[in-house]
Structure formats: structure tokens, C-alpha cells
Structure 1
Amino acid sequence: MDIVAVAVLGFFALGYLVLGGSDIGTGMVLPLLARDSRERRLVVTAIAPFFLGNEVWLVATVGVLAGAFPALESALLHEYFAPFVVLLVGWVVRDTGLWLRGRVDGHRWRASCDTAIVAGSWAVALSWGVIFTDVLVGSSAGPIGALVVAALFGAHGLAFASVRLTGPPRDRVRRLAGPVGEGPLLALTSAGLVVLGLFVGLRLAPASLVADHATLAFLLPPLVLATPVLLAPQAWVWWTFRHRVVKPAYL
């Protein structure tokens, strides 16, 4: 039962890093990819169908953490309360920019929303960087480690954008990515985030902080049964929007 709980936690956490990291990273590098309002809207369209579904993975991770690993959740919130607050604020700011960008047809409005998307994405990435770095090597390497983790998110965003975009934004991604290639680059950055998540997980040792068996017996069966229901619509969305973006959407 303990192994199942750890496996479920790892599944959702790593899924969030890879999937959620794609739209976080794309938001971070928006100024590098787009030169005008139309191009920025094209980049936003690349992540528009996915970002809400990607956030479900984080919500699921927090839910599993709270239910199956309450001691670990309490320790993390106590130790990293400030970074989590910044992360939450950045998350809200970024999503606000994404949701409201297309609601008003004005240059200043769209520019403000674009700024919110970029700033919020950086806030989320740097917050994770601070937390992950402290877990792995301690607070002494905080600023450098946070930038390294943020750079990994940004590279993952570039890789994701390279397989979604067309036209000049895609050309800029290819120049930034170099000779690696679009598919291999996305696989490489995805693997980097997975390895990072695994090292953080090993350091936290959740198996030693698992809830009692009665709690797990109550929580895990419905969670395992509900997971396919959660994954099916997301798989449908990814399949439906698997093609490259050729024109802006409503965002």
C-alpha cells in the first residue's frame, strides 16, 4: 500500500513537471519567440488548449500529498511557505493574463496581459527553483540553483514551442535550439525535469512519511479508479490539438 501511494504521488508530480512545465516555460520565453502582438497571440495559442489541464496534475499532486502524506505536506508548507506564496501569486497572475488577454481589443491591454504571463511564469519557475534547490543542496545555493531550474523550465518551453509553432516564431526557436532538433530537444528537456523530480523525491523520502494504512485503504482505491477518468479527457485534448498552430485563437 505504501509503494502504491508513493507511485501515485510520483506519477502526478512528474506529470505536472513535464506537462505543466511546458506552458510555464513557454510563458517565460514569450519575448524571445514573438516580436509583435499577433506573434505573441500565436505563442499563447500554442499553450491555450493545455494549460488548465496541466494544472490539474498539480492539484492532484497536492491532493495526494495532503491525504496520503500529511506529515510531509505540513513540513513542506512550514519550511517553504514564502516560496509557495510567491508561486501561488505567480500562478494566478499568469492565468489572469492568459484568460483576459483576448477580452479587450487594445494594445496596452494586451501588452499588460503579456507582461503578466511572462512575469507570472518566471515567478512560478523561480519558486520551484528555490524549493527544489533547498531540498537538494541547501539554501546556500538558492539563487544559482533557482536560476538553473528556471533555465530548465525555459528550455522545456522552447522545446514545446518548437513542436507547436509555425512561421517566424518557430524559426526563432530553431535558431535558439541549435542543431539538436525539435523532437530530441523536447525529449531531452522532459527527461531533465523527470530526473530533477526524481532526485527531489528521493531526497524528501515520502515512503517514510506515509499515512497510516487505514487512511491509505480509504483513499487509494477510489483515487486509482478515478485516475483513468482524469487522464481520458486530457488525452483527448492532446490528440485533438496535436497539430501545429497556424493562426491565433480567442486568447
Structure 2
Amino acid sequence: MEILAAALLGFFTVGYLVLGGADLGVGMLLPWLGRDGRERRLVLAAIAPFFLGNEVWLVAAAGVFIGCFPALEGELFSGQSAVLVPLLAGWIVRDAGLWWRGRTPYRAWRAACDGMVVAGSWTAALSWGRLFAGLLTGDPAEPATGPAAVLTSLGVALLFAAHGLAFGALRLTGPPYERARLPTGRTGGWQTFALTSLVMAALPLAAGARLPLAGSAATGPALGLLVTALLVVTPPLVAAQVWLWRVFRGRVTGPSFL
């Protein structure tokens, strides 16, 4: 059961970073991809159908971690609170900017919401980078510090941005599409998105391999009950994601409700 629990934790975490990392990357580069109000609405329309569904993966990963690895969860959440609080704050600010942007027609309001999307996305991406820097050292109770932590945070944030560009090249049209595909030129498309997805997936797997998951798993029938329940709900979750991506697989040509 411990192996199944660890596999589910890795599955949900990889799912979030591959899917949710794409919309975070788009938010980070919103001012560059969209040069005016209409273009920015087009850019946000590219992630509008996905960002809430993508966050389900993060909630599921947190649920698996808390329920199946309670000892390690307490150690990591308390030790990495200086990293997790900014990560959560960035997530909330980004989502608030997305939801509030289309509520009024005033340009100043929309500009402020765009700033929230960009700032929240960068904060979350940099926090993920610092979290991975700490986890890769094998000491989950201590936030990473020093030049290595700074370089890792920046590197992971740039990876999020590259992943967002690859996703934007699949969804956007017009000038935002040309800007999204500029770094890869004619090689852009699903090949680039698949490559950045593989790198994004490697991050949590490398970090998880350094954690003592087997020794900190829950004991008794609780673990078996939790793993069984997760195995039941995972196929519908995956099916819903496949349906969502199939329905909205086309390129956006106009603004959405955001």
C-alpha cells in the first residue's frame, strides 16, 4: 500500500505541474504575449477553460500527502512554511485577478487585475522553485538558502514560463500566437509542449525520490482505505481532464468571460 500511495502522490503532483504549470506560465508572460487589452483577454481565454480543473490535481496531491503520509506532512509543512505561504498567496492572488478582471469595464481595474495575475503567477512559480530546491537536498524540514536556492528558483520559474509559451503556441492566434512561438520558431507545437512537459514531470519525481515516503506512510487499515478510495476516484478525474482537453483543444479566436 505504501508503494501505491507514493505512486498516487507522484501521479497527482506530476499532473498538476504539467497541466497547471502551463496556465501559470501563460500568466507569467501575460504582458509580453498580450500588448493591449484585447490581446490580453485573448491570452487569458487560452487558459480560462483549464485553470480550475488543473488545480484539482494540486488539491488531490495535497490530500494524498496529508492522508497517506501524515508524519512527513507535518514535518514538511512546518519546515517549509516560509515557502508554502508565498506559494499559496501567489495562487490566491493569481486566481483573484482572473476572476475579478471581467467584472467591470474600467481599464484601471482590468490593469490592476492583470498585475495580480502576473505577480501571483511569478510568486507561485518562484516558490515552487525554492520548494524543489529544498526537497532536492533531502531535508524537507529546512527551506533552501544561498546561491543554489536562488538559481534553482529562477531556473524553475523560467521552466514554467517556457512551458506556458509552449501551451500558448497551441492555443493562441494572431500576434499573441506569433510571440508564443517565437522562441521555438517552426519547431513549436505539440513537440515543444511534450518536451517541456517531460521536464516539468521530472521535477516532482526527482524530489520525491529524495523523501522518506516509505518510512513515513500511515499505518493500519487507514492507509488501505485511503488508497482504495483514491483508486476509485482517479479514473473519473482523468476522464474529466481528457474530456476537457478534447472539447477545448482548438485555438481561441476571441475573448472569454475573464
Indicate the TM-score class for this superposition, using the shorter chain for normalisation: over 0.9
> 1:205 and 1:159 mapped to 2: Cα distance?
34
Match of 1:166 among 157, 173, 186: 173
> 1:108 and 1:88 mapped to 2: Cα distance?
26
The question of 1:104 aligning with 2:110 is answered no
Match of 2:197 among 190, 199, 207: 190
> 1:181 and 1:159 mapped to 2: Cα distance?
7
Deviations 1:140-183 (A, max 9, x none): 31111100000001100000011000110001112123353222
Query: In 2, are the aligned partners of 1:158 and 1:177 still within 8 Å (CA)?
Result: no
> 2:215 and 2:18 mapped to 1: Cα distance?
26
**Secondary structure, in 3 states, of the residue corresponding to 1:227?**
helix
How far apart are 1:139 and its partner, in Å?
A: 2.8
Q: Which residue of 1 aligns with 2:130?
A: 130
**Secondary structure, in 3 states, of the residue corresponding to 2:182?**
helix
Partner letter of residue 240 of structure 1?
V
> 1:42 and 1:31 mapped to 2: Cα distance?
12
TM-score by length of 2: 0.94
Deviations 1:158-211 (A, max 9, x none): 000110001100011121233532222111110111111111111113222211
> 1:234 and 1:192 mapped to 2: Cα distance?
21
Query: In 1, are the aligned partners of 2:41 and 2:255 still within 8 Å (CA)?
Result: yes
How far apart are 1:230 and its partner, in Å?
A: 2.2
User: Unpaired runs of 5+ in structure 1?
Assistant: none
How far apart are 1:73 and its partner, in Å?
A: 0.9
> 1:213 and 1:3 mapped to 2: Cα distance?
15
Match of 1:222 among 206, 209, 229: 229
Deviations 1:199-247 (A, max 9, x none): 1111113222211142211211111111122223222221111101011
Partner letter of residue 139 of structure 1?
T
Q: Which residue of 2 aligns with 1:66?
A: 66
Q: Which residue of 2 aligns with 1:30?
A: 30
Q: Which residue of 2 aligns with 1:139?
A: 145
Q: Which residue of 2 aligns with 1:41?
A: 41
> 1:27 and 1:149 mapped to 2: Cα distance?
15
Stretch of structure 1 that moved more, 229-238 or 52-61:
229-238
Partner letter of residue 166 of structure 1?
T
> 2:233 and 2:186 mapped to 1: Cα distance?
42
Stretch of structure 1 that moved more, 234-243 or 36-45:
234-243
Query: In 1, are the aligned partners of 2:169 and 2:188 still within 8 Å (CA)?
Result: no
Query: In 1, are the aligned partners of 2:166 and 2:188 still within 8 Å (CA)?
Result: no
Count of equivalent residues: 251
> 1:183 and 1:241 mapped to 2: Cα distance?
15
Q: Which residue of 2 aligns with 1:57?
A: 57
The structure carrying a bigger helix percent of its residues is 1
Partner letter of residue 145 of structure 2?
S
The question of 1:248 aligning with 2:241 is answered no
Q: Which residue of 1 aligns with 2:210?
A: 203
> 1:70 and 1:215 mapped to 2: Cα distance?
11
Query: In 2, are the aligned partners of 1:70 and 1:211 still within 8 Å (CA)?
Result: yes
> 2:123 and 2:81 mapped to 1: Cα distance?
15
> 2:115 and 2:213 mapped to 1: Cα distance?
37
TM-score by length of 1: 0.97
Deviations 1:114-159 (A, max 9, x none): 0000000001000111110122245331111100000001100000
Query: In 1, are the aligned partners of 2:166 and 2:181 still within 8 Å (CA)?
Result: no
Stretch of structure 1 that moved more, 74-83 or 156-165:
74-83
